[in-house]
Structure 1
Amino acid sequence: MTSPDPLLITSLTQERAHHDTCRAALAAMVDGAQEHVFTGEDVSASGADAEVLGYRLRSRAKEMRELPEGPLFFGRLDFGGERGGAGDHAGQSYHVGRRRITEHPSAPPLVVDWRAPVSRAFYQASARDPQGVRVRRRFGWAPGSRGDSTDLTGLEDERLEGEYLEVEPLADGRLADGHLGAGSLPDGRHPEGSLPATPGGSRILASEIERPRVGPMRDIAATIQPDQDELVRADLTVSVCVQGAPGTGKTAVGLHRAAYLLYTFPQRVQRGGLLILGPNRTFLSYISEVLPALGETGVRQSTVGEEIARHPVTGEDDEAAAAVKHDARMAEVLRRALYARVGSEGAEGAERAEGANGLAVPDGSYRWRVPGEALARIVADVRAEQLPYAVGRERVRTRIVRYVRERAERRAGPQSSAWVQKISRARPVGAYVDAVWPKVRPEEVVAELLADPAVLAAAADGVLDADEQKALLWARPPRSWKSARWSAADLVLLDEVAGLVEHPESYGHLVIDEAQDLSPMECRAIGRRAVYGSLTVLGDLAQGTTPWAAREWGELLGYLGRPEAVVVPLTSGFRVPQAVVELANRVLARLDVGVPPGQSLRRDGELRMLPTDDVLGETVEAVRRALLYEGSVGVITADPDVVRVREALGGAGIEAAGVDQLGARVTVLGAGLAKGLEYDHVVAVEPAAIVEGETRGLHRLYVVLTRAVSRLDVVHARPLPFE
């Protein structure tokens, strides 16, 4: 290894000292936040104002106390003179980290937040467009560092006008003190042999990206690439759809965008709230530590099923019934079923109850008459306004009262608000409204639709064919909706009707991951919760594994209510090695989606095809070999074979955990739970069985093969389905 330059040793010593200063300042910030809670208790304000202030101070103190331990900065920007485009930052230096650190609120920051405007140059500046940056410095920290200054083991300077500072690894994998390397060329390329082919030509960057993964997902604030940064910093009002090939960091982009929006637009986002939607709880557990590491706690992370869960899921649909229930046409069927309760039949019943000539509304000893024609006109006008069902019901009542009030004021002058309330509560008015526009529960509508062939036939006429209607009907209808066994698909139907009755509250922003697997009806449920907010939609059409998975983004975005959202492809991966990507591309070529083949900037990694007559025995040996390396090992098999594979590993003395134990060294999981997860070494067991396990089995296999970020073993006794 080249001897370290004395100047670089001095630089490293200075940076360690700066980190100690930052650590002391952060501790003071934590103590100060708690002190503000105590002083805020004595604030002179109204009870409500004091309560709000106290909540904010306590939340701030809690957030500061719960900051994860770790290095406080990962980069530094040194700006040149004004001629270089540095503007107000000319001659300044800024350390870049996961949160702002300062010794005093009015003092210059010791560390600037990665989301601050000035930090953008750390991700975007290049030799072609230096953005006023003279030197960009990256810091190398020992793996697993908890933020001790001694863990700062390397640094690397990129002089955008031509030089960079290179670091070399020590034998234990840490980074050594750097030395001055060859310069970069004016177009940003590096001389042959000066650096490996890594993102940005940076060994520290490559080391961080390729670091072994054990446990939950980490943030990528130190390694965000320019195209990712553009997506992260898109304006709050912009809805974006990221079509991301495996290993391109689409999930990380979505989470960092959430953190950026909370930092940049705190009041606007927090007013409506921010929601992260994932495919399942395992996935949400995997990503749960990313936002707290970026200083954002308390963000709701959920699944679509949890958001719409009016009842526990106790029933189950066959594939045909589930497919119809998730179909977009069900929205029209449900609308008809709901509004079949409104209209002439109800009006006629009310007229018979109150007299053939309309309503007689008592006002003391006098009776105000509302003709039947006027009532019918009121109902028709309200229906034409297409209001939420509950709003329409009250609008009918209000307009009946208005009709009476106008006549009363002609006769006796202005009427008081108490008089208006008395007329509104009059029994004939209430009876008519209940008859013509009755109160209704979503459960009543859906249960009647699924239990009564005549009701379903009327609502589905011209929308669903006879076979589809037959698939929908319950084989054994319950006595009432209260005893119904609701399936997961039924909950989607209930949410649709609930949205017709009354609009749910809208979030300020939603991040939706693995969106390609959402059904049209699930998309409508999400769209109702984003009427006044924006969306970040993440997914990969090639990884769509549900029967209703999207084939193209335009239609799905329309169901979400965001047809104008721009689809941005991410095709260059940094996590999955090229050999693995090439194998996955062979599967991709057989899928029915218009997705370009993925590509990887990593030329390392290992792929081994292991044909055998003893699948379990070869799987055990593959795991033994994988354990010789650092990092996590994921053994992915067809869902029915999980127990058998885990028992084989246990019998060989290898402890294997379930997918819910994120810190385990070896995990055995079914292919159905693999989406969104990643392991350093993946052992894919019998691809043919994985493909046969479901209708879109090749898509599932594509997911399985792309979970490996360093090495992939494919164990099989049967012919490979992509050969």
Structure 2
Amino acid sequence: MSDAVRDSEIAAEQAYLDRVYVRLDQLRVTAAEVEKAGYNMARVGNYGALVERDAMVYHAARRRRALESEHDGLVFGRLDLGPDGVSGADAAAVAPVVPGGEVRYVGRLGLRDEEYESLVVDWRAPAAAPFYRATPADRMGVVRRRSIRSTNEKVVSIEDDLLDPAAAPADLAVIGDGALLANLSRATGRGMKDIVATIQREQDDAIRSPASGITIVRGGPGTGKTAVALHRAAYLLYADRNRYESGGVLVVGPSDVFVGYVSRVLPSLGEDTATLRSLGQLVEGIQATRHEPPDVAAIKGSLRMQRVLSRAARGPVPNAPDKLRILYRGELLSLDKPALDELRRTVFNLGVKRNAARAKAAGHVLDALWRQSVQLLPSGRQQKREEFAPDIAERPEFVQFMRGWWPVLRPTEVLGWLGDRQRLQRWANGILSNREIALLASSIDAESLSGSASASGSRSGSRSASASVSVSVEDVALLDELHEYLGDPPARKRAPRDPFMVAEGVHEVSTISERMAAARAQAIERPDDYRDYAHIIVDESQDVSPMQWRMVGRRGPHATWTIVGDPAQAAWNDAAESDRAMEAAVGTRRRSDFTLTTNYRNSAEIFAVAARVIRAAQPDIDLPTAVRSSGVDPVELTTSADELPGAVIDAAKTLLDQVEGTVGVITPTQRRAEVSAWLEGLDAARLQTVGALDSKGMEYDGVLVVEPAAIRDEAPTGFRTLYVALSRATQRLTTVGTQPF
């Protein structure tokens, strides 16, 4: 195809794009005017006008934000359909190039012109499905599919797929060799790109799978699993907004680095209501980023910890009083340790959570004391139970005893108890080995955890620690498990705050309509520790430990699920235990399984290195197929320990010169801070240093893997972690180490 024809086709698409952006500007102005007019309606002075004002302002502001967020790359596709693909309702007002057919433009949101004719079809709408799903074998009426790449408001390139040559007119222009591979060669930038313009059919099948039940997506590196999961969230919010926006969509990723990486994808698709959390952020008030060494992580992630934590949460409080003595009417009433232990077991047999049972525990102690008084005192000096209980309960010695024997406990405090090896030995006896008990106890920073519990003791509604608490990502699931046994501390019931209160006794002038609207807003406000999401997406699910599955499952007891992962990348060694925990978390709903088989990220040369590592450990494993070749082989460098810092710096500089986009430096987990210090002063906007575990789900234009052999050897599943690290690059891969891998 000549340059003149290409330039002519680009000019035609530019003319259409100009028309779209003119309309976009008009709609922005209209939305802003409607929003302003909504505020002015308050001047009418009646209740109906105020209700209309609330609705107008809300919807106009939301529409304005959507229009403003979708400026760059607004239109990315065009479908030229033959007569069998005509729908009419979604056709653009453009002369069809196929006789009897129609033209349909696909973009990030739907737009119509002043005559309500279609300008752009929203990518999530059924009319846009052929852009992703049509193939030469199943054309869905598509003759030519065109991908349009633009920067700001300028078309910079177009790429065509001719799906039905027999139906194409002789003069139909077909530009390029296909959009997908050209798009994959572009720089990725600092955050993850949405792949809305390059979704392929196997990916689209998963994105548009039925909303109910469980959707499971498996695929190797570069197959677009994460992008599929995020686009599925956007699709569900579009298809059933009332259900999924009101109930909420939770996206759970493996690390904070990953969450930051994908955080721009959903807003770029017009969705900003989903909640993104890493596994270290799921407990309110905790921001854990540190990972345990593999042997400790294996203990903390095992379902055996459920039994250990149950014993700790239901057992006697360390250093609690083991006897109670009260002088009553000349007689000494006493309860010794065996009697107190029996009372504690009786309370827990009621099935109540520890903090919620504090009043019941006091009642059982008072009952036991009253029964003693009946036995010791003559009938004339005895009191009835309802008279005896308040008399004893108000005594300072009883109050002090209850504070020590049945205190309000927080998860961080109980987790800190596990740092005492003697206590842990009692709770873990018959569950963990002596070696595991020693490892677990040494991993707990008891001083930090107990200090946090003391600091938060004055906040009756707080159940967890601040972000400064020294807990690991693996500890977070243990804190959540402990909360299940402890429950929230009793909190005083406070009267709802009046949103129109200016100062004590002084109220803002407001109408009944405004007050009703404020009451509705308070009624639907979600708590920080929200646990009833409508849909939960779990990415990198192969690394979710059994205890973490229990934690995630509590966030959506009635949710539908999308679970994305790759068994070949699993860092968790006991797949059977993890599968059982996942089954318990998601339930027995109907399932839809999808497998992604094409690696779009890596060049064949890069993926060959990663495949060599994983096949050395698992020769028969099924791997995706890398569909493009760059002609550039990865660079493998070996150096001495003394020269390693200089070699890493030189390799990072070379990669920064070779690629336009980002460079990821991937290190053994325990050496990230050290390597990051070596690279201080290099291009911080484009260079990111991450530990091998935190590299999961990430994508960079150039990747430097430091000490690959150490990554492979730092855990029993280290060969899988190295496989992941080696498959993060789209363009260039360099490894630097002190020994071959």
> Partner residue of 1:676?
697
Matched, 1:37 2:35: yes
Give how far 1:113 is off: 0.4
Q: Which residue of 1 aligns with 2:74?
A: 72
The change in CA–CA distance for 1:639 and 1:333 in structure 2 (over 3 A counts) is closer
Residue in 1 that maps onto 2:493:
none
Tell me how far apart the structure 1 counterparts of residues 552 and 149 of structure 2 sit (CA, whole Å): 41
Note if contact 1:165-1:180 (Cα within 8 Å) is conserved in structure 2.
no
Partner letter of residue 124 of structure 2? R
Map of 1:523 onto structure 2: 549
Matched position secondary structure for 1:590: helix
What pairs with 1:531-546 in structure 2 (closer than 5 Å)? 531-545=557-571
What corresponds to 2:134 in structure 1? 125
> Contact conserved, 1:518 with 1:548, CA < 8 A, in 2?
no
CA distance change for structure 1 residues 451 and 633 in 2, over 3 Å: closer, same or farther? closer
1:601 aligned partner: 627
Give the TM-score normalised by structure 2. 0.70
SS of equivalent residue, structure 1 residue 676: coil
Q: Which amino acid aligns with 1:620?
A: D
Write the deviation string for residues 571-617 of structure 1: whole angstroms up to 9, x where unpaired. 31112111222221111123469851232111334223445556645
Q: Give how far 1:273 is off.
A: 1.3
Pick from 149, 152, 157 the counterpart of residue 146 of structure 1: 152
Q: Distance in 2 between matches of 1:635 and 1:466?
A: 38
* Distance in 2 between residues matched to 1:582 and 1:316, nearest whole Å: 29
Match of 1:697 in 2: 718
**Could you list the per-position Cα deviations for residues 659-708 of structure 1 after superposition, in whole angstroms to 9, with x for gaps in the alignment?**
xx4xx2x5555545433222223333442243345554322321221112
CA 1:594/1:441 → structure 2, altered by over 3 Å: closer, same or farther?
A: farther
Which deviates more, 31-40 or 319-328? 319-328
- Cα distance change of structure 1 residues 113 and 642 upon mapping to structure 2, 3 Å threshold: same
Distance in 2, matches of 1:494 and 1:683, equals 36
CA shift, 1:450, in A, is 2.4
**What is the number of equivalent residue pairs in this alignment?**
622
Cα RMSD (Å): 4.9
- Sequence identity of aligned pairs in percent? 30
What is the DSSP-based 3-state SS (H/G/I as helix, E as strand, rest coil) of the residue aligned with 1:260? helix
Distance across 1 between alignment mates of 2:656 and 2:419:
54
Give the superposition deviation at 1:25: 1.5
Partner Cα distance (2:671, 2:451) in 1: 38
User: What are the equivalent positions in structure 2 for 1:590-669 lying under 5 Å apart?
Assistant: 590-591=616-617, 595-613=621-639, 616-617=646-647, 620=650, 623-624=653-654, 627-628=657-658, 630-638=660-668, 656-658=682-684, 661=685, 664=686, 666-669=687-690
Aligned to 1:627, the other structure's residue is in SS state helix
User: Contact 2:545 / 2:578 at 8 angstroms: preserved in 1?
Assistant: no
Letter in 1 for 2:14: R
- For the residue of structure 1 that corresponds to 2:601, the secondary structure is coil
Alignment match, 1:95: 105
1:156 equivalent in alignment to 2:124: no
Counterpart AA for 1:327 = S
Please say if 1:21 is aligned against 2:46: no
Does the CA contact (< 8 Å) of 2:135 and 2:163 recur in 1? no
Task: Flag the structure with more relative contact order, 1 or 2, with Cα contacts below 8 A and sequence separation at least 6.
Answer: 2
- In structure 2, the partner of 1:709 is 730
Q: Summarize deviations over 1:466-487 as a string: whole Å, max 9, x none.
A: 5544544478965994556652
CA distance in 1, matches of 2:222, 2:205: 18
How much does 1:247 deviate?
0.8
Partner of 2:371: none
8 Å CA contact 2:314, 2:348 repeated in 1: no
Q: CA deviation at 1:252?
A: 0.8
Write the mapping of 1:222-237 to structure 2, written as runs, cut at 5 A. Answer: 222-237=197-212
CA distance in 2: counterparts of 1:490 and 1:557, whole angstroms? 19
Deviation at 1:537, TM superposition (A): 2.0
Q: Is the 1:26–1:102 contact (alpha carbons within 8 Å) kept by the matching residues of 2?
A: no
> Residue 414 of structure 2 is aligned with which of 411, 422, 446?
446
Q: Tell whether the 8 Å contact from 1:79 to 1:134 is kept in structure 2 after alignment.
A: yes
Please list the CA deviations of residues 278-301 of structure 1 after superposition, one character each: whole Å capped at 9, or x if unmatched. 222222222222112211124322
User: Which residue pairs with 1:345 in the alignment?
Assistant: none
Partner of 2:497: none
Residue 119 of structure 2 aligns to a residue whose secondary structure is: coil
Q: Matched residue of 2:36: which SS?
A: helix
Distance 2:215 2:197 in 1: 23
Q: Distance in 2 between matches of 1:246 and 1:216?
A: 17
Give the drift of 1:636. Answer: 3.6
Contact 1:632 1:681 in 2 (8 A): yes
How far apart, in 2, do the equivalents of 1:120 and 1:692 lie? 45
Out of 471, 474, 483, the residue aligned to residue 487 of structure 1 is 471
**1:555 partnered with 2:556:** no
**Cα 1:87–1:629, aligned 2, differ >3 Å: closer, same or farther?**
closer
Q: Is the 8 A contact 1:671 1:704 kept in 2?
A: yes
Question: Which residue of 514, 517, 522 maps to 2:540?
Answer: 514
Per mean C-alpha deviation after superposition, the further-off stretch among 203-212 and 485-494 is: 485-494
Aligned to 2:366: none
TM-score, length of structure 1 as denominator length: 0.72
Structure 2 match to 1:190: none
Question: What is the CA–CA distance in structure 2 between the aligned matches of 1:459 and 1:645, rounded to whole Å?
Answer: 40
Cα displacement string for residues 342-387 of structure 1 (whole angstroms, at most 9, x for unaligned residues) = 9xxxxx99xx99xxxxxxxxxxxxxxxxxxxxxx9xx999967x67
Tell me, yes or no, if the aligned pair for 1:72 and 1:98 is still in contact at 8 Å.
Answer: yes
Partner Cα separation in structure 1 for residue 675 and residue 592 of structure 2? 43
Contact kept, 8 Å, 1:154 with 1:178, in 2: the verdict is no
* Amino acid aligned to 1:31: V
- Residues in 2 aligned to 1:101 and 1:430: alpha-carbon distance in whole angstroms: 70
Higher mean displacement: 591-600 or 697-706: 591-600
Amino acid at match of 2:654: R
Task: Name the aligned partner's letter for residue 205 of structure 1.
Answer: L
**What is the alpha-carbon distance in structure 2 between the residues aligned to residue 315 and residue 123 of structure 1?**
40
CA contact (8 A) 1:518 1:550 kept: no
Q: Residue 122 and residue 442 in structure 1: after superposition, are their counterparts in 2 closer, same or farther (change >3 A)? A: same
Q: 1:25 to 1:394 in 2, by over 3 A?
A: farther
